[in-house]
């Protein structure tokens, strides 16, 4: 996957409520993608809808993502879904450490184990990081750095290259408050320098960075042009095929 070509991922969260609606949404994205020149698009429906959505995506290049993965590969872990099960359902990406999961108790250590589990099963992890709030002293930078550093417990540089990082400031998720393109650019530079320091320059240069947090058709072009990221992780706006496709179109606009 070439890093300079944007990747746009739709995180459907706990939506939609029926398989029928999920199929309509997936079909809308697949139809658009067939005619668009946008090679890297993925959608992450609920676990329950993965298989049927996969069938609908057919021969398009829209890829399938999951919203979580177990820390465990198999066994007595009620309610969990393993990397092998995801892979077997045609999943390529898995969102890990989303702030909504961290709010339910997922720790940095669990995130690192999940990333290793995903990689073992040839899934591309999309690791979400980002601060809850911003302070004038800039301590949110060290918070983001510590989230990256915690990955080193499980992930070596050679594997880190296969990881996608999504910077999602929590204050911008689902709130309508988007980080400005300057904020995003500043964080992009910071994350790359942190990755160079924690891993090494070559590893940092090969990691794809996404922005997420109230990305909409109205702000996608500016964020893409000035934010310096390699694509988006889209929540709310990915639930309407027209909006999601418009974001894809704007991401690819030269």
Does position 58 interact with ligand PGA (CB under 6 A)? The reply is: no
* CA-CA-CA-CA torsion sign (25, 28, 31, 35): negative
Q: Which is nearer to ligand PGA, 212 or 231 (CB)?
A: 212
Residue nearest to ligand PGA (CB): 235
Residues within window 198-227 making contact with ligand PGA, judged by CB under 6 A: 212-215
Task: Report, in Å, the least distance between residue 149 CB and ligand PGA.
Answer: 22
Query: In the beta sheet, which residues pair with residue 128?
Result: 166
**Contact indicator for 226, 236 with CB cutoff of 8 Å:** no
Task: Report, in Å, the least distance between residue 180 CB and ligand PGA.
Answer: 15
Size of residue set near ligand PGA by CB under 6 A: 13
Place of tokens 């240069």: 205
- What's the token pair of residue 233? 């992780």
SS3 42: strand
Does position 174 interact with ligand PGA (CB under 6 A)? The reply is: yes
Angle of helix 108-120 relative to helix 139-149, nearest 10 degrees, comes to 40
Return the residue of 233, 241, 247, 248 that touches ligand PGA, per CB under 6 A.
233
Return the residue of 173, 187, 194, 250 that touches ligand PGA, per CB under 6 A.
173
Task: Report, in Å, the least distance between residue 100 CB and ligand PGA.
Answer: 7
Return the residue of 6, 125, 169, 236 that touches ligand PGA, per CB under 6 A.
236
Residues designated catalytic: 98, 168
23 to 31, 54, 81, 221: CA distances (angstroms): 12, 9, 22, 28
The C-alpha atoms of residue 41 and residue 53 are separated, in whole angstroms, by 14
Residues that bind ligand PGA (CB under 6 A): 11, 168, 173-174, 212-215, 233-237
């Amino acid at each position: 996957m070439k890093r300079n070509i944007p990747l746009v991922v739709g995180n459907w969260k706990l939506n939609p409520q029926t398989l029928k609606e999920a199929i309509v949404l997936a079909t809308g994205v697949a139809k658009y993608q067939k005619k668009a020149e946008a090679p890297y698009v993925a959608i992450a429906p609920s676990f329950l809808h993965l298989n049927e959505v996969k069938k609908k995506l057919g021969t398009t290049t829209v890829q399938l993502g999951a919203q979580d993965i177990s820390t465990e590969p198999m066994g007595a872990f009620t309610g969990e879904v393993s990397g092998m099960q995801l892979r077997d359902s045609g999943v390529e990406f898995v969102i890990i450490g989303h702030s909504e999961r961290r709010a339910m108790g997922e720790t940095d250590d669990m995130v690192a184990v999940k990333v290793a589990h995903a990689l073992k099963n040839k899934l591309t992890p999309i690791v979400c990081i980002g601060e809850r709030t911003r302070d004038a002293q800039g301590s949110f930078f060290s918070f983001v750095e510590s989230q990256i550093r915690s990955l080193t417990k499980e992930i070596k540089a050679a594997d880190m290259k296969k990881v996608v990082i999504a910077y999602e400031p929590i204050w911008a998720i689902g709130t309508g408050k988007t980080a400005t393109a300057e904020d995003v650019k500043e964080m992009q530079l910071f994350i790359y320098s942190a990755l160079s320091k924690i891993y090494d320059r070559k590893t940092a240069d090969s990691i794809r960075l996404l922005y997420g947090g109230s990305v909409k058709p109205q702000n996608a072009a500016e964020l893409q042009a000035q934010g310096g990221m390699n694509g988006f992780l889209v929540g709310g706006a990915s639930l309407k095929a027209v909006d999601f496709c418009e974001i894809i179109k704007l991401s690819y606009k030269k």
